[in-house]
Amino acid sequence: MDPSFEFERALLILDLDETLVRATEKRLDRPEDFRAGQYYVYKRPHLDSFLQTVAGVFKLGVWSAGTQGYVESTVNRLLPPEVEPLFVWSRLKCVRRSDLESKEAYFVKDLRKTRRFGFPLERTMIVEDMARQVERHYGNAVYVKPYLGEATDNELLLLARYLLRLYRSAANFRTIEKRNWRQQQV
């Protein structure tokens, strides 16, 4: 790495469902953290400390393929007051695509839409559980295991350490191989 590189603030975009929370119409085997419409919402373990840690270094955005009302309601209940996201986007900001084989629609997050906030794509990352939703920007993605409600999940503890190390060591996030990031935590 170039020793003259000055670390500029970076943008970290967080997916919502199966990344930060599990929202389900059927209650799990424990009390939910809150309700959002007809959904029982369960926060991923260590979410609060994860948000505090990454918000100290990154500017944060939340981008979900969920509906606008659900996303806004969930984020309002999820984020502590001191963690203020730069934006909260729903599927309205996604590009709608169709799977030619299954004929099902899916939503893609085109990170070029975030450039208006002044962050170059080289200093932008997205935390996502589904590769298809960032198919235009694989180099910006850090993939997490989908969160299905397990109380013993520790993904966010590992992820916070990894993201901080990456922030400090990489001028261009897109050039770093991130697919095996968990193995780098051992």
Choose among 137, 140, 141, 121: nearest CA to 129.
141
pLDDT tens digits for range 119-148: 999 999 999 999 999 998 999 999 999 999
Output the CA torsion 70→42→40→68 (10° steps). Answer: 0
| CATH number assigned to the domain with residue range 10-185, chosen from the 4 options 3.40.50.1000, 3.50.50.60, 2.70.98.40, 1.10.3210.10 | 3.40.50.1000
**In the predicted model, what is the mean pLDDT of residues 12-33?**
97
Domain boundaries, the chain: 10-185
Please state the pTM of the whole predicted model: 0.93
User: Are the C-beta atoms of 98 and 86 separated by less than 8 Å?
Assistant: no
pLDDT tens digits for range 57-113: 999 999 999 999 999 999 999 999 999 999 999 999 999 999 889 889 999 999 999
pLDDT of residue 186: 54
